[in-house]
Amino acid sequence: MILRCLRWFISVAAVACLTASLALAGADWPQFLGPTRNGQIPATSLDRVPKEGWPLRWKSAVGEGFSGPIVVSNCVYVFHRIGGQEILSAFLITDGSPRWKHALPTGYSAQFGGGDGPSATPAADSERVFALGASGVLRAVSATEGRLLWQVDCAERFGAEPGFFGFGSSPLLLGDRLIVQVGGPEASVVAFSVAEGRVLWKAGTDEAGYGSPVVQTRGGRQEVLCFNRAGLLVVDPANGREQGRFPWRARMHASVNAASPVIVGDGVFITSSYGTGAALLKSDGKTLRPAWSGDEALSAHFATPVLVDGFLYGFHGRQESGPDFRCIDAATGKVRWTLERAGSGSVLAAGRKLLLLMESGEVRCLEANPEKPVETGRFQAGVSGARALPAVAQGRFFLRDRSHLLCLELPR
């Protein structure tokens, strides 16, 4: 009897584990920074990294841009530029075959380098894909057909300027509304109806930066955190009412805030380069105040750090100078360790593992260990120009380098 019960328990547990594993393997990556908007990869094991790297399943040529891939259901979507067109393309995740593409003409020309392609990562659900172009044209496209549903010229509508590198803040899809950091004298942040592009509310007058809005739940209520050119702006997603703000930017004009806010318990971590530094902000219900701040902890140029068990891991220093990669205590800002001159890249977290995609196209895997840096594997995945944030979904790793979208198979 006991043996039969034990066998039954083992078989049920095995089925449950298999079911959970299959469900997690099917997890999507529908927006910038992943499904939870914080760079966390749901239930993916990075324990085994063969010397030759994860096998290449397929690759497809794409145009220029630093917009990251997103994955919903059986499609991976990429926003890129070829010639005088900004193109939103859909590829089947199984073999990379094109499903559809939607192109709009663009005359955007970068004034300060960085390329002429789009930088904002799209957001999508099962019905629609939303993309913000470098010149400020926001579009909604049918996820199944690639048909244009609506579009808004944010530069014309709200008097917004393209900034140093074009419009580049990635839209946040939140229920029936799409929240976009537009920037400009008529609207810093705008909520659009996902169905028809109608403006639901506008907030602020600050210029946009290159950080993207994230959602925080505090006191049972949602807040949208927007790190724009002037600093942190907190708004109510229901109506756009301002809930708080904290000024944080470099004194020099030729500077940007580009990393997104990171939620740390009941606080918010913000970080910038250009001598600005980082701060952990806490709210007393009325005012945001720094628990700590300074330029000695973690000054990110553009890559958003990740939080693992109370420690932040990210790139420190300017992209063109070869930044360090380091770990800091989120509660105090104390530096725990530093990999000097690691190079520029982006970082994601999978449990207690870190996945780094370097701008050189190299992939590095590290333990999220606050005591010391422990590397568990590295390999060359693509060529240089891999500045777009990658996506991890359905057992695959999607990345962009200078001219290709690549799909690698992850170990199960």
Domain harbouring 157, CATH code = 2.130.10.10
Question: In this predicted model, which residue has the larger pLDDT, 360 or 115?
Answer: 360
Residues 355-371 have a mean pLDDT of: 97
Of the candidates 68, 296, 19, the one whose C-alpha atom is nearest the C-alpha of residue 168 is 68
Under 8 Å between Cβ of 91 and 60: yes
The yes-or-no verdict on residue 18 having pLDDT over 70 is no
- Model-level pTM? 0.92
In a domain, 361, yes or no: yes
pLDDT number for residue 13: 37
pLDDT number for residue 49: 87
In a domain, 225, yes or no: yes
In a domain, 10, yes or no: no
Read off the pLDDT of residues 127-171 as tens digits, 9 standing for 90 and up. 999 999 999 999 999 999 999 999 999 999 999 988 888 999 999
In a domain, 13, yes or no: no
Residues 283-308 have a mean pLDDT of: 93
CA distance 57 to 196: 37
Under 8 Å between Cβ of 412 and 25: yes
What's the number of CA atoms in the CB half-sphere (13 Å) around residue 36? 15
In a domain, 1, yes or no: no
Strands, DSSP E only, in 21-127? Answer: 56-61, 70-72, 75-82, 85-92, 98-105, 123-124
Residues 195-216 have a mean pLDDT of: 95
Residues 92-107 have a mean pLDDT of: 97
Domain of 174, in residue numbers? 28-409
In a domain, 3, yes or no: no
Give the number of domains in the chain. Answer: 1
In a domain, 9, yes or no: no
CA distance 349 to 293: 24
Number of helices (H), then strands (E), in the chain: 2, 32
In a domain, 355, yes or no: yes
Local confidence band at 176 (pLDDT 50, 70, 90 cut-offs): very high
Q: The tokens 């333990």 sit on which residue?
A: 367
